[in-house]
Amino acid sequence: MPTLIVTTLNGTDHPIDADVGRPIMEIIRDKGFEDMLALCGGSKSCATCHVYVDPDKLSLLPPMPQDEDELLDSSSHRQPNSRLSCQITFTAALDGLRVVIAPED
């Protein structure tokens, strides 16, 4: 099974099995990571699933839609590799992807 590596707020890496075809936010939430609130459930209205994507694999992701970009602009923790994990569907090409859960605003 493909692997997603989740780095929690305390800096600990957690390799987890990841189902292809599911949003990364759902994978992280369903594995019980409490650092990610994911309050809106993936409707792009809260940015509480903000992650930093491994810069080496950022080019494998689809372009960021304008509404996602605008939501991330509201975060004081935004970085060049910021994305909303609810908007990233995990694919086989992303096997081994590392995401870092961003601090809450």
By residue range, what is the domain housing residue 27? 3-101
- pLDDT (tens digit per residue) in 44-84: 888 999 999 999 999 999 999 999 999 999 999 999 999 99
- pLDDT (tens digit per residue) in 26-47: 999 999 999 999 888 888 888 9
Model pTM? 0.94
Tell me, what's the pLDDT at 93? 96
Rounded to the nearest 5°, which phi and psi values hold at 15? -70, 130
> Could you give the percent of the chain with pLDDT greater than 70?
100
Domain harbouring 81, CATH code: 3.10.20.30
Amino acid identity of residue 95, one-letter, is D
Q: Report how many domains make up the chain.
A: 1
